[in-house]
Amino acid sequence: MHSSDSIVIIPTYNERENIENIIRAVFQLEHGFHILIIDDGSPDGTATIVKELQQEFPDRLFIIERTGKLGLGTAYITGFKWALQQNYEYIFEMDADFSHNPQDLPRLYKACAEEGADLSIGSRYVSGVNVVNWPMGRVLMSYFASKYVRIITGLPIHDTTAGFVCYRRQVLETIGLDTIRFKGYAFQIEMKFTAYQCGCQIKEVPVIFINRELGTSKMNSSIFGEAVFGVIRLKWNSWFHKYPQLKK
């Protein structure tokens, strides 16, 4: 049995400038989180840095190496399945680039472990717009995309595309990970929508999102397009699908 009930899954592609700092920042927290890196064959040596750090943190740091860029969604699905097999109770999504502040991890944990949430979201929009260093055009695009998703899907969530999330293991066991179809940022919407349809209690925790200072953003127009048009198909399919309900 491992020494923590919580694991933070961090997908990486060319994050050598950030990866050691983000790992050390998480490990400095009192809670004792573990970390699983899912690396998609980064040519910049990200995985090599992680494996060197495993010598220092052999019981807390893990890595799965994949060949080629296979998508954000499949990275998380791979990580979720591994974490469930290892019997972690609380399973987190987090970016490698410090846009998600590791200091907020305990707040997401508390929302699930102590405050009754099945899924907690580090939300940029639940208390206004809390985004730093983004061009205004991207802020508006993201903000109104979330509003659009709320209108189409009926999700009672302000930040539908958020990628800073804590799941209780029962959520991931219930929703059926093999039924999740989207690979890009629409994956985040599909996970939340499916969890909501399964009767999960969702709580948004206000956070400040700080745009990456090092490395290159993975966002592009095709990823955004998947999110915009994918939600229509998501809602349409939901009319013909019976969702399993989370056992409380």
Give the Å distances, CA to CA, from 47 to 30, 40, 42, 201.
26, 9, 7, 36
* DSSP secondary structure code for residue 102 in this structure: G
**What tens-digit pLDDT sequence spans the chain (248 residues)?**
577 899 999 999 999 999 999 999 999 999 999 999 999 999 999 999 999 999 999 999 999 999 988 889 999 999 999 999 999 999 999 999 999 999 999 999 999 999 999 999 999 888 766 667 667 776 777 778 888 899 999 999 999 989 999 999 999 999 999 999 888 778 999 999 999 999 999 999 999 888 755 445 545 556 566 767 888 889 988 998 889 999 87
Q: Where are the domains of the chain?
A: 6-238
What residues are paired with 167 via a beta bridge? Answer: 91, 119
Distances (CA, A) of 49 to 24, 179, 219: 12, 33, 24
The CATH classification number of 6-238 equals: 3.90.550.10
Record the pTM. Answer: 0.92
Neighbours of 32 (CB within 10 A): 12
CA–CA distance, 150 with 142 (Å, rounded to integer)? 12
Q: How many CB atoms lie within 10 A of CB 220?
A: 10
